[in-house]
Structure 1
């Protein structure tokens, strides 16, 4: 790392770039590079599919779909790249046929990993512009070369004057303005969201696309303001502070702005290393991820809707550090309770109770031509892992087949899906839940699924990790600390 002094600000000592300079000139030219990266990802899908599907019956549909993605991404200045990032892991893992999955996953994965980095002097100028005098007074060292790419920015290693090692996320200049401009293009968004929600499948889910588009747009806009992400992350860090196997890095509040987020630096194994670890470690990591995702429902009425493999750091003691809280859905307590009532009835094999709870939740009306058994089967299909009589290792292919079967117009849940009233906010809740399952499948985890889900809906903890977590929150409540007191 380099010492952060006045000579490294990208201009003469003592000068500070203005807002106009940051927004315009050579800095503004970073935005077209974002679109180029996105278009290149779409074109990579087309090339890969042409090679893979030459002479097969599937060529037409998938080539046309990929070409449409490439066209849309090429016309986008940022929003569709962000939307593509949001769907890159789950969409490529659960709806695309297994033989084509790697083509989509590798190409759209580049939307996260290959966004063009800022030049070192530009990163320093952005930091100086956002933090002002704090950029020199707070940092003893700052590495102008990024060590990681974020969704709409990049991450630098630094050391504060008090000795703390931190990670500094800096947003790409111009990307927020470009994304907001994209979000005003209703036709562009509607077409892309229709493709994304349908999961690259000829059969689309029966969902209010306008409502879903509004929900997705709202989440994208939230991610543009790092102050909101810092607030989200601080809430999660406080809830899980001292937890035996869940760690959320602390944010440095005084060094966070709309385009800069400073947080505790955490080191650990990356996903590429984690998936090759021994089975016991992978099982522990998967259970930690499941407990964090679903436990936050109850303890905070908040859900991190971006469970992407790149957002975790894995540790040899079985713990996991959780990163990136830009996409967080706040859930009404009543909504959580309604969902839990449905799951409890389903776990009891209570067909009529499942139907009644689903009607009360507004997902179906009592007058809909859907039988209680069809509603029950819909939920049971969604939780098929729970009904396994013994532990097994789910795969992405298994998860994908289950989702396609559930939403197929010819599948066992076809009539229930046809009449379901799924609100737009369901888009990100469902995506988050599916993402957690995909991550666990990616880790090839063999865990006690029924025990996890039973505890999730209010049962006693049965696994060793569950008992440790229960003891942690019980001790906290006994000490008068009410963080995470709604479940435990």
Structure 2
């Protein structure tokens, strides 16, 4: 299905209309004309005035873009929600405006929802459910959720996809992809491939329309025995592409606990404990398993009596490779320890500069932000809004945008999740320190990582759980890194000095250690790592 949406060979190049029919062509042309009229009225007019330095401000342009995307329907709303996380492409003001996009629509009638379930499962709804509440507990542009009870008494939540969503979004993405192809030919978006961006958005968005992917996401997170949060069980015999049935999570949304502090008392849990448990659970997803819930806002976190935490809504997820988890872990740990140059080196390994990027200027600007971030986080007098991860990561995105440096989409989701985690924890009463929580997390899960040399490498390898395949891919991944000269510095020994280690040597050691005949390969890996360490330390000493 996605191939039909984003196949670059067919974008703008289809010959004939037999595949879609004359009526579909008329509808597509009409929708294109309507969207164009909306775009001119809501967006292009204020944008042109802003470019000409007339009455329109950037805020008005951003507001016009949001209104256009809201008016365009489900596809454009989803596009806007994706663009809201692309801080490497758009200004903070524009992304903040797009984050306000409304995704609330009137619900389908209960009898229509029941009919969809019956059609998907092949028999009347009473065959599967002892009770079904026709009034949804939530409704959005793609689906709505109902309470129900199985014949064995299990209380479940039933997510039902709206009629025609896939067909509408597929047609819309073809239309938008054709416009993007034209924009690329005209060079309207220099430095950003419009067609590639649309393909990226389509792949990201269309996966939300297959509820089996969401179910598998929940199962993957639940498979970690040390996950620290409850994940609803998926009832696979009752689930399809358009219907997802899972255990009903009983609890209070964290958003309500934040708004009404009394709920925490009733649930017999302190806000500080909530923040700590939530932080531990997500740091484990981000740094240990590498597979994480991509939307941990307070509405998707449920607090249960006695302090249990449960997650819901797994439509957005992210996955970080073992090699990148290694680099991200070293980056965050070095930042938490105040090793600014080492933190930058790790961060630089994850970004892609343009040919015109002034690398030295980018490095100076980014290191200044990292230094301010660490100083603010360790100063109790710093206002809360200046302690948030999202604030400093936002500044770094602005620097990236200015210097035309790009970050991979999966890393954008990583920072979005970490920023939401930090913001959510800060909304609870008390003073939450994310960097302190990170230090505790690393100390608990990797005791002794501060020792020098190859043992530090071993700790990191164990920590990020690299598989043989991931280790092999790490070599190729590092070889493809952009030409920003970097080394990753891992915490050193008692003298607080860092041990410099080229990322390529790390990848080589990981690759060798993952080969069969582990003993011999381990010796080779250790020798390669030690030679690399010795060489770099010699260069360092002579500098």
- Alignment of 1:298 onto 2:295: no
Question: Does residue 1:79 correspond to 2:69, yes or no?
Answer: no
Structure 2 residue aligned with 1:5 = none
CA 1:438–1:96: 2 relative to 1, 3 Å:
farther
Matched, 1:270 2:256: no
CA distance in 1, matches of 2:340, 2:126: 64
1:99-137 CA-to-partner distances (Å, cap 9, x unmatched) read x98x987x63x41xx312111110111000111138433
Which of 1 and 2 has greater Rg? 2
Distance 1:388 1:119 in 2: 53
1:265 CA displacement: 0.6
Task: Identify which of 100, 116, 137 aligns with 2:106.
Answer: 116
- CA RMSD across the alignment: 4.6
Structure 1 residue corresponding to 2:416, chosen from 423, 427, 431? 431
CA separation of 1:60 and 1:380: change in aligned 2, threshold 3 A: closer
Could you tell me whether the CA contact under 8 Å between 2:366 and 2:396 is conserved in 1?
no
Answering whether residue 153 of structure 2 is matched by residue 163 of structure 1, we say: yes
TM-score between the two structures when normalised by the length of structure 2: 0.60
1:54 aligned residue: none
The answer to whether 1:460 aligns with 2:427 is no
- Per-residue deviation at 1:385? 8.0
- Residue 452 of structure 1 deviates from its aligned partner by 1.4
Separation in 2, partners of 1:247, 1:393:
33
Match of residue 251, structure 1, among 215, 234, 250: 234
Mean CA deviation greater in 121-130 or 314-323: 314-323
Structure 1 residues 6-155: aligned runs within 5 Å: 60-74=57-71, 76-85=72-81, 95-96=92-93, 108=101, 110-111=102-103, 114-133=104-123, 135-150=125-140, 152-155=142-145
User: Relative to structure 2, which stretch is displaced further, 396-405 or 271-280?
Assistant: 396-405
Q: C-alpha deviations, 1:412-448, integer Å up to 9, x for none? A: x57x961534234333233222232332334355224
Q: Structure 1 CA distance, aligned partners of 2:464 and 2:412?
A: 28
Partner residue, 2:170:
180
Residue in 2 that maps onto 1:223: 208
Match of 1:469?
none
Residue aligning to 1:318: 307
Unaligned 5+ runs, structure 1: 1-37, 47-56, 192-203, 467-483
Secondary structure at 2:158's aligned position in 1?
strand
- Give deviations 1:116-171, integer Å, cap 9, x for gaps: 21111101110001111384333111112212225521111111111100000101
Give unmatched runs, 5+ long, in structure 2: 1-34, 44-53, 182-188, 448-462, 467-543
Separation (CA, whole Å) in 1 of partners of 2:222 and 2:179: 34
Instruction: Tell me the number of residue pairs that the alignment of Structure 1 and Structure 2 aligns.
Output: 391
Q: Distance in 2 between matches of 1:233 and 1:95?
A: 31
Cα drift, residue 90 of structure 1: 11
Would the aligned equivalents of 2:291 and 2:319 in 1 still touch at CA under 8 Å? Answer: yes
Using structure 1 for the length normalisation, give the TM-score. Answer: 0.66
Match of 1:343 among 321, 327, 332: 332
Query: Helix, strand or coil for the counterpart of 1:459?
Result: helix
Classify 1:313/1:143 alpha carbon distance in 2 versus 1 (closer, same or farther; 3 Å): same
Q: 1:393 to 1:218 in 2, by over 3 A?
A: farther
Q: Which residue of 2 aligns with 1:53?
A: none
Whether the 8 Å CA contact 2:389–2:418 is kept in 1: the answer is no
